[in-house]
Amino acid sequence: MASGWRGILGFDYGIVQAPLGPDISGPELAAAVANAGAIGLIRLPDFPAPDYVREMIRKTRSLTSKPFGAAIVLPFPYGENLRVVLEEKLAVLQVYWGEFPRERVEEAHRAGVKVLHQVGSLEEAAKAKEAGVDGIIIQGREAGGHVIGQEGLFPLLPRVVDLVSDSGIPVIAAGGIVDGRGYVAALALGAQGVCLGTRFLATEESFAHPIYKEKLTEMSCTDYTNLFGRARWSYAPHRILETPFYTGWKNLPDQETEESQPIIGQSIIHGVHNDIHRFAGAAPNATATGDVSRMVMYAGQGVGLITEIIPAGEVVQRMVAEAKAIIRERLSDFHLDQSRLPSHTRIPLELLARSCRGGEQGKNTKGTSTVLFPGPPL
């Protein structure tokens, strides 16, 4: 298995664009990410819409010749939409918030589709490993949007890496990562890739409403809450921007839901016209009208590092360039005698074949596996 720089699931880079719902990561965003060599994911509807899903896939293919994937949220009906993904033989299927058993994974594999399972705990990761998935995205509590786990990313990530160390399953880190510094930190803890949501939300190709995007570049505080979408998805806490509207209503009693609230706007979500009630869980997409400032705005804790809206491809390019620079300028003199490490934490030598100082493996002068800190080809 290659390092997070190249080779994750056959893609150029170990960077995954998180599925942004309900329809903010559409064909334009997924294609732009794919064209940059990373893993772009279209977010599929939470209701059966096989014809619409096929149309989304084909539109994405019209925008890129590169492989890409699709994502489903498991608590909602997904069978018909999944069937289309397999029939269209997408490169990757990402699943989230529930179990995806071995028989489902094998069904995807028979269609030539690789499965990424996003989880939020060591227990969920163990189930995903047992199911035979092709990659595990481990989400920390820092992440934006709906957050299934309770632990921070950095304490949890190396435990999951250790858990799957005998399987060859790559682990992808998610939660609060928006730049090359987070990328390098995740790699240092054993991840082979990173998954970004908020950073890709704030891109030109994202289908988020312009006001939503603007808030992402202006605000830095988030909160973990269950205020929005309680009636539709009552057991799904989420991390959002601390907008003035949220601050004024965050102590709303738990029994209050969006169903009894006034309509504050409308939007078209996956081709369906929707009234947006106050406290609804649908983030404002580009079609939203009404009082957008009172709609939910999901964001992770890394949002304070986002200061501009840029093309999605530039996000990928900057992350790789920044991470390379960090390794070259700050870590290229770091040597590691792996003979002193537990076997399951040693870095495979093939991942270290190129260092930031010319690409040669560190010389073994004492019969031990002494290597330079891993870095990408320059």
DSSP 314-363: HHHHHHHHHHHHHIIIIITT-EEEGGGS-GGGPPPGGGGSS-TTTSPPPP
Is the bond into 377 cis (omega within 30 degrees of 0)? no
Q: Report yes or no on 378 lying in a domain.
A: no
Q: How many domains does the chain have?
A: 2
Residues 240 and 354 grouped into a single domain:
no
Which one of 314, 331, 348 terminates a domain?
A: 331
Which domain CATH number covers 123? 3.20.20.70
Tell whether 377 is covered by a domain: no
Amino acid found at 40: G
Rounded to a whole number of angstroms, the CA Rg of the chain reads: 21
pLDDT in tens, the chain (378 residues): 334 445 578 889 999 999 998 899 999 999 999 999 999 999 999 999 999 999 999 999 999 999 999 999 999 999 999 999 999 999 999 999 999 999 999 999 999 999 999 999 999 999 999 999 999 999 999 999 999 999 999 999 999 999 999 999 999 999 999 999 999 999 999 999 999 999 999 999 999 999 999 999 999 999 999 999 999 998 899 999 999 999 999 999 999 999 999 999 999 999 999 999 999 999 999 999 999 999 999 999 999 999 999 999 999 999 999 999 998 888 766 555 555 556 555 544 344 333 233 333 333 333 333 333 333 333
Domain of 357, in residue numbers: 335-372
Residues 240 and 94 placed together within one structural domain of the fold: yes
346 with 306, same domain? no
Residue 130 near residue 103 (C-beta atoms within 8 A): no
Contact call for residues 39 and 92 (beta carbons, < 8 A): yes
- Do both 237 and 349 map to the same domain? no
Together in a domain, 162 and 261: yes
Q: Are residues 80 and 209 in the same domain?
A: yes
Answer whether residue 268 is part of any domain. Answer: yes
Task: Give the CA dihedral 343, 346, 350, 356, nearest 10 degrees.
Answer: -170
